[in-house]
C-alpha cells in the first residue's frame, strides 16, 4: 500500500506554528476498553490531529498536552492486548516502540493505561512494554469501578512493586489529571523499573501474581449489574429480539431522522441558488454558481446529518458496551461472509448511505475486515438509488401489475434490495478471502466489557472528528466532480444567435437547457462511449445520464429529464416513455424497452456511481488504491450483470 | 426498545438462566474431572475449569495471543454462555469476560479446577 506525500505533513504541523517535531513526545499504550482514548481525549481535547502511519492504512492520532513544563505531544497508539503483533494496527505499536525502526518516530516516554478491574490480564502487556528501554508511567483507570465491585488495590504499594510511577484516574474526570499533566512534563525524572519482568510468556503469570500480591490486590466481584443485563441482552431469544429492535431503531434514526434535516439543507441550497439566479445577470455564470458551486457544496453538507447521527449512535453503543454484545450475537452470521459481528453495523448503515456505512468500519479492529467491509458496503441499496429505482421501475411495469398477491413494483424493489445485500456479503467474503493470502488468519476474540455510562465528551469528540475529517478530505473530491460535471454538461454555452438559428426560444428555459445538454461536451462524451453500453441497448442520452450520475446517483433522473426536455425534469417518466431510438437498426422504436430498463436497474445496483463514496473510501483507507479497485471491480461487475440482464430479459419478453 | 418491556424480559430470561446455571454448576462439581483432551469448546455454561495447555499447532502467533489474553496454563476459566447459534462463546478468565470462536476455544486444553 502506498501513501501520498500528505503523510509526512500529518506529524509536523503544529497548532501554534511551532514544529511539533521539536516538542517532547509521549505515546499512550493500552488495550482496547482500557479507557485509553477517553484519557487521550481528556488530555488533548479538540486539539487532536488525525493522519496516517506511513505505508499502512492505520489512522494516527496525536495532539498537544499542556504541562507545567511546557507542551508535550501525546500520541494515541492503536489499542492492543499484546506486543506480539498479529495485525497491521498492532505492528504499528511495536514499530513505534522500537528505536531501530526507521519509519516511525520513537517517543521519549510511554504512558500505559491499565484497567484496574482487569489487572490480572493487562499486567501481561505492561510486562512486555517494560522490555522497551523507555521511561514508563502507569495510569490506572476505572478505579471507581474497582471499589464499587469490592476490589482493592494499594496504589502506592503497587507502584513500588512495579518500580514506575502510577497515577489513578476516574475515567473522564478532567480535574484529576493535574498529577498526570505534571508527570508528562518531566518524563526524564520518572522512576525506572530496576528489574525488568520476565520475557517468557509462561513465566509472566508468576510475575503478575507477585506484583498483585505486593499491591494487596483483591480481584473485583463479577459486576452484578452487567451479569443481570447480559442475562437478557445475550439471551438466545430475548437478546435477539432486543438486538433487532435496537438495529431497527438505529436504522430508523439514520434513515428517517436525518432525512428532514437533509431536506432543510437541500432547501437552503435551493434557496441560495434562486438568490443567485435572481441577482446574477449572466445566465451562464448564474447557472455555474447555483448548480456547479452551490450544488457541490450542498452535496457535501447534505451528508453531515447522517454522519453526525451515526457517530452519536455508534459511540453510545461502544461507550455503553453494547457494540461488543451486538457483534457477539451477529458473529456467526457475519462469519459466513468472512467477517466478524461488528461489520453488521457498517453494512446496515450502508442501507441509508454508503458514506456513513464506510465510516462505521472504523469500529472494526482488523484492517483486513475493514477493507473487506468497505468493498461490500457500496452494494447495499442506499437511499440515493431509490429515486432512480422508482423512475425505472415505474417505466418497466405498470402500477397495477401484480405478481401473485403482491404489487409487481414492490416485488422488483424488494428483489433489488435482497440482491444488493447478498452481493455485498459475497463481495466482502471474496475480499476477506483475498486478504487472507497476505498474512495468517487472525484469531477472533472480543472482550465483553462491563456496561458503563458513555462519556458525553467521547460522543461529542467522535462526532466532531468524523464530521471534520469528512469535510476536510471529501469536500475537494465532491466539489471537484460536481464542477467538472457541470462544465461538461453546460459547455460550450450556446449563444443567442445559435439558439435562434436552431429555432429555440431563448426565453424557454426547458428548451434551452435541453439544447445546451444536447450540444454539450458531455453529449460528445456520451456519443463517444456509446459503443461501451451498446450491448445493453443504452444510447448516448442514457450514457449522459449515467455520466452525470457520478456526482450522485439521483442526478440521473434530473439529467435524463433535461435531455428529454421534460417540463418537470425531476419527474420525467411521461416524457421518457415517448423517447425513441434516434439511429441504427432500432431507429424509431421506443428507447426504454424492458431489457434496457432492467439492464439500467442492474447497472445502478452494482456500479459505484458515486464520487462521494469514492472520496470517503480514499479517506478511510488512506490511499487511492482501494477506491480505484472498488470502482474498477464494481464497474466490471455492473457492465457484465447488466449485459446478462438485458440478454435474459430480451429473451423472455 | 421500550422500558416497559424490560422487566418482563428479565423475569422470563432470568429464571431459566438461574435454573440452568445452578444445575450445571452442580453437575460440574460432580462430573468433572473431564476426560483427557477436553477443551474450552466442550464446556457447558457455568463449568469452571483450569487451563492445562494452549496450542494452536499450526500458528504459534495464535497460541501466543491466547496466552496474552489470559489463557495461561493454571488459569481458572468459567464458561459463561454461548451465542444463539452456538458460536462464539463467552469465557470469564483473569477477571474479565472474553468471547472466542469455537475454533480458538478448541486450542485450549483444560482439566478440573483445583
Domain ranges of chain A: 6-221, 238-472, 473-652
For A525, half-sphere exposure in the C-beta direction (CA atoms, 13 angstrom radius) is: 16
A121/B92 CB distance under 8 A: no
Can you give the pLDDT at residue A292? 78
Can you give the pLDDT at residue A26? 93
Q: What is d(CA A165, CA A179) in angstroms, rounded to the nearest whole number?
A: 11
Strand, helix or coil for residue A140: strand
Can you give the pLDDT at residue B9? 36
Q: What is the pLDDT of residues A459-514, one digit of tens each?
A: 898 888 888 878 877 787 778 877 888 888 877 777 777 777 777 777 777 777 77
Establish if B65 touches chain A: CB-CB under 8 angstroms: yes
Q: What is d(CA A425, CA A330) in angstroms, rounded to the nearest whole number?
A: 14
CB A216 within 8 A of CB A153: yes
Interface subset of A 285-324, CB within 8 angstroms of B: 324
Helix H or strand E segment including A413? helix A408-436
This prediction has a pTM of: 0.78
Instruction: Measure B38 CA to nearest chain A CA, in Å.
Output: 20
Backbone angles phi, psi at A518, to 5 degrees: -60, -30
Query: Would the CA dihedral through A38, A44, A45, A46 be positive or negative?
Result: negative
> Best residue in A228, A234, A329, A440 to probe B by mutation, most B CBs within 10 Å?
A234
For A123, half-sphere exposure in the C-beta direction (CA atoms, 13 angstrom radius) is: 28
Query: Could you say which of B64, B70, B74 has the minimum Cβ distance to residue A84?
Result: B64
Complex ipTM more than 0.95, yes or no:
no
Q: What is d(CA B70, CA B91) in angstroms, rounded to the nearest whole number?
A: 11
Who contacts A135 (Cβ-Cβ below 8 Å, separation ≥6)? Answer: A108, A109, A110, A164, A187, A188, A190, A192
> Best residue in A232, A249, A313 to probe B by mutation, most B CBs within 10 Å?
A232
Instruction: Measure B65 CA to nearest chain A CA, in Å.
Output: 7
Q: What is d(CA B67, CA B64) in angstroms, rounded to the nearest whole number?
A: 5
User: What is the DSSP code string of A417-460?
Assistant: HHHHHHHHHHHHHHHHHHHHTTSPPPPPEEE-PPP-PPPHHHHH
Residues of chain A under the 70 pLDDT cut: 1-21, 52, 54-57, 171-175, 437-441, 565-570
Q: Which fold has domain A6-221?
A: Rossmann fold (3.40.50)
Minimum Cα–Cα distance from B98: chain A residue: A447
Residue numbers in B near A230 (CB within 8 A): 81
Can you give the pLDDT at residue A110? 94
Establish if B104 touches chain A: CB-CB under 8 angstroms: yes
**Closest CA relative to residue A469, chosen from A354, A365, A613, A616:** A616
Can you give the pLDDT at residue A597? 92
Q: What is the pLDDT of residues A47-66, one digit of tens each?
A: 777 776 766 667 788 899 98
The total number of structural domains in chain B stands at 1
Helices (H), A336-384: 343-349, 354-360, 367-376
B96/A205 CB distance under 8 A: no
Can you give the pLDDT at residue A75? 93
B95/A324 CB distance under 8 A: no
Residue numbers in A near B97 (CB within 8 A): 447-449
Minimum Cα–Cα distance from B56: chain A residue: A443
Q: What is d(CA A339, CA A431) in angstroms, rounded to the nearest whole number?
A: 10
Cα B77 to chain center, whole Å? 6
Whichever domain contains B78, its CATH number is: 2.30.30.90
Query: Could you say which of B9, B67, B83 has the minimum Cβ distance to residue A328?
Result: B83
In angstroms, how far is the first alpha carbon of chain B from the final one?
Answer: 43
CB A431 within 8 A of CB A373: no
Look up the domain containing B83 and give its range: 5-112
A328/B17 CB distance under 8 A: no
> Best residue in B46, B98, B103, B105 to probe A by mutation, most A CBs within 10 Å?
B98
Q: What is d(CA A306, CA A349) in angstroms, rounded to the nearest whole number?
A: 9
Instruction: Measure B54 CA to nearest chain A CA, in Å.
Output: 11
Can you give the pLDDT at residue A467? 87
The count of CB pairs under 8 A between chains A and B is 138
Q: What is d(CA B24, CA B27) in angstroms, rounded to the nearest whole number?
A: 5
Establish if A334 touches chain B: CB-CB under 8 angstroms: no
Instruction: Measure A419 CA to nearest chain B CA, in Å.
Output: 25
Can you give the pLDDT at residue A391? 84
B86/A119 CB distance under 8 A: no
Strand, helix or coil for residue A391: helix
Helix count and strand count (H, E) for chain B: 3, 5
Residue numbers in B near A448 (CB within 8 A): 90, 96-99
CB A296 within 8 A of CB A477: no
Query: Would the CA dihedral through A128, A131, A132, A136 be positive or negative?
Result: positive
B98/A445 CB distance under 8 A: yes
Can you give the pLDDT at residue A359? 85
Write out chain B's pLDDT in tens, 114 residues. 333 333 333 333 333 333 444 444 444 443 455 566 889 999 998 899 999 999 877 678 888 889 999 999 999 999 999 988 888 999 999 989 999 998 889 989 999 887
Establish if B111 touches chain A: CB-CB under 8 angstroms: no
Q: What is d(CA A275, CA A448) in angstroms, rounded to the nearest whole number?
A: 55
Establish if B53 touches chain A: CB-CB under 8 angstroms: no
Can you give the pLDDT at residue A334? 86
**Closest CA relative to residue A70, chosen from A23, A18, A135, A12:** A23
Strand, helix or coil for residue B37: coil
Query: Could you say which of B64, B72, B96 has the minimum Cβ distance to residue A118?
Result: B96
Can you give the pLDDT at residue A411? 86
Establish if A218 touches chain B: CB-CB under 8 angstroms: no
Amino acid at each position: 500500500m502506498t501513501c501520498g506525500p500528505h503523510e509526512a505533513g500529518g506529524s509536523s504541523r503544529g497548532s501554534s506554528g511551532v514544529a511539533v517535531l521539536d516538542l517532547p513526545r509521549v505515546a499512550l499504550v493500552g488495550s482496547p476498553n482500557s479507557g485509553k482514548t477517553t484519557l487521550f481525549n481528556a488530555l488533548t481535547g479538540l486539539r487532536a490531529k488525525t493522519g496516517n502511519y506511513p505505508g499502512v492504512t492505520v489512522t494516527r492520532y496525536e495532539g498537544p498536552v499542556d504541562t507545567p513544563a511546557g507542551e508535550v505531544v501525546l500520541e494515541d497508539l492503536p489499542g492492543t492486548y499484546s506486543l506480539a503483533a498479529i495485525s497491521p494496527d498492532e505492528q504499528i505499536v511495536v514499530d513505534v516502540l522500537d528505536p531501530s525502526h526507521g519509519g516511525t518516530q520513537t517517543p521519549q516516554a510511554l504512558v500505559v493505561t491499565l484497567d484496574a478491574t482487569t489487572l490480572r490480564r493487562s499486567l501481561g502487556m505492561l510486562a512486555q512494554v517494560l522490555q522497551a528501554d523507555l521511561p514508563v508511567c502507569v495510569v490506572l483507570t476505572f478505579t471507581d469501578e474497582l471499589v464499587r465491585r469490592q476490589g482493592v488495590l494499594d496504589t502506592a504499594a503497587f507502584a513500588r512493586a512495579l518500580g514506575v510511577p502510577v497515577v489513578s484516574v476516574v475515567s473522564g474526570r478532567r480535574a484529576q489529571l493535574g498529577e498526570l499533566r505534571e508527570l508528562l512534563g518531566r518524563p526524564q525524572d520518572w522512576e525506572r523499573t530496576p528489574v525488568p519482568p520476565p520475557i517468557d510468556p509462561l513465566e509472566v503469570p508468576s510475575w503478575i501474581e507477585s506484583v498483585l500480591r505486593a499491591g494487596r490486590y483483591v480481584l473485583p466481584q463479577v459486576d452484578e449489574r452487567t451479569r443481570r443485563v447480559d442475562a437478557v441482552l445475550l439471551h438466545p431469544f430475548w437478546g435477539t429480539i432486543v438486538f433487532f429492535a435496537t438495529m431497527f431503531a438505529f436504522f430508523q434514526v439514520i434513515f428517517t431522522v436525518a432525512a428532514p434535516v437533509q431536506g432543510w439543507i437541500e432547501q437552503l441550497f435551493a434557496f441560495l441558488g434562486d438568490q443567485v439566479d435572481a441577482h446574477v445577470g449572466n445566465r451562464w455564470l448564474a447557472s455555474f454558481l447555483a448548480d456547479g458551486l452551490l450544488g457541490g457544496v450542498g452535496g457535501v453538507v447534505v451528508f453531515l446529518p447522517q454522519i453526525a447521527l451515526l457517530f452519536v449512535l455508534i459511540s453510545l453503543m461502544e461507550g455503553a458496551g453494547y457494540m461488543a454484545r451486538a457483534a457477539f450475537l451477529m458473529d456467526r452470521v457475519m462469519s459466513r461472509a468472512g467477517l466478524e459481528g461488528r461489520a453488521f453495523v457498517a453494512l446496515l448503515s450502508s442501507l441509508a448511505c454508503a458514506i456513513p456505512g464506510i465510516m462505521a468500519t472504523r469500529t472494526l479492529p482488523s484492517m483486513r475486515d475493514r477493507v473487506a467491509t468497505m468493498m461490500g458496503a457500496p452494494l447495499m441499496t442506499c437511499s440515493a438509488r431509490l429515486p432512480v429505482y422508482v423512475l425505472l421501475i415505474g417505466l418497466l411495469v405498470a402500477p397495477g401489475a401484480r405478481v401473485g398477491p403482491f404489487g409487481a413494483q414492490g416485488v422488483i424493489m424488494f428483489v433489488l434490495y435482497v440482491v444488493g445485500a447478498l452481493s455485498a456479503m459475497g463481495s466482502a467474503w471474496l475480499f476477506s478471502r483475498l486478504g487472507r493470502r497476505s498474512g495468517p488468519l487472525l484469531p477472533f476474540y472480543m472482550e465483553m466489557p462491563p456496561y458503563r455510562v458513555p462519556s458525553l465528551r467521547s460522543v461529542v469528540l467522535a462526532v466532531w472528528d468524523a464530521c471534520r475529517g469528512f469535510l476536510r478530505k471529501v469536500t475537494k473530491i465532491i466539489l471537484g466532480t460536481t464542477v467538472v460535471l457541470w462544465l461538461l454538461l453546460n459547455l460550450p454555452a450556446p449563444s443567442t444567435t445559435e439558439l435562434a438559428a436552431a429555432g429555440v426560444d431563448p426565453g424557454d428555459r426547458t428548451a434551452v437547457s435541453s439544447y445546451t445538454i444536447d450540444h454539450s461536451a458531455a453529449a460528445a462524451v456520451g456519443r463517444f462511449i456509446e459503443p461501451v453500453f451498446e450491448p445493453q441497448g443504452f444510447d448516448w442520452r442514457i450514457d449522459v445520464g449515467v455520466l452525470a450520475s457520478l456526482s450522485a446517483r439521483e442526478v440521473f433522473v434530473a439529467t435524463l429529464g433535461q435531455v428529454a426536455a421534460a417540463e418537470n425534469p425531476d419527474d420525467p417518466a411521461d416524457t421518457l416513455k415517448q423517447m425513441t431510438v434516434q439511429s441504427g437498426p432500432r431507429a424509431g422504436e421506443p428507447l426504454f424497452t424492458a431489457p434496457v430498463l432492467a439492464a439500467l436497474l442492474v447497472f445502478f445496483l452494482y456500479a459505484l456511481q458515486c464520487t462521494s463514496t469514492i472520496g470517503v473510501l480514499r479517506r478511510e483507507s488512506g490511499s487511492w488504491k482501494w477506491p480505484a479497485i472498488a470502482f474498477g471491480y464494481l464497474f466490471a461487475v455492473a457492465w457484465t450483470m447488466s449485459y446478462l440482464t438485458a440478454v435474459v430479459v430480451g429473451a423472455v419478453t | 426498545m421500550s422500558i416497559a418491556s424490560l422487566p418482563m424480559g428479565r423475569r422470563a430470561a432470568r429464571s431459566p438462566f438461574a435454573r440452568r446455571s445452578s444445575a450445571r454448576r452442580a453437575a460440574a462439581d460432580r462430573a468433572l474431572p473431564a476426560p483427557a483432551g477436553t477443551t474450552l469448546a466442550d464446556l457447558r455454561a457455568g463449568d469452571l475449569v483450569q487451563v492445562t495447555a494452549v496450542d494452536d499447532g499450526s500458528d504459534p502467533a495464535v497460541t501466543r495471543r491466547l496466552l496474552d489474553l489470559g489463557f495461561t496454563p493454571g488459569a481458572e476459566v468459567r464458561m459463561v454462555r454461548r451465542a444463539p447459534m452456538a458460536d462464539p462463546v463467552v469465557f470469564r478468565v483473569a477477571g474479565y469476560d472474553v468471547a472466542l470462536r469455537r475454533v480458538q476455544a478448541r486450542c485450549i486444553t483444560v482439566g478440573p479446577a483445583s
